[in-house]
Amino acid sequence: MKLLPNDAGQLAEEPEYFGLRMFLKRALEQFPELADDPDVTIGIHVCMSALKRLALDSLRSGEAITARAVVDFLDRVLESPRLDPEIPNAVSLSFLEPADLEPFAAGRSFLDSMPSSVRRLLV
- Domain ranges in the chain? 18-122
User: Which whole-number Å values give the CA distances from 31 to 47, 72, 82, 89, 123, in the listed order?
Assistant: 11, 12, 23, 21, 25
4 band by pLDDT with thresholds 50, 70 and 90: very low
Per-residue pLDDT of 24-58, as tens digits, reads 999 999 999 999 988 888 889 999 999 999 999 99
The DSSP secondary structure of 22-71, one letter per residue, reads HHHHHHHHH-GGGGG-GGGGS-HHHHHHHHHHHHHHHHHTT--HHHHHHH
- Among 62, 93, 98, 77, residue whose Cα is nearest residue 20: 77
Q: What is the pTM of this model?
A: 0.86
Share of the chain above pLDDT 90, in %: 67
Residue 101 has pLDDT above 60, yes or no: yes
Amino acid type, 120: R
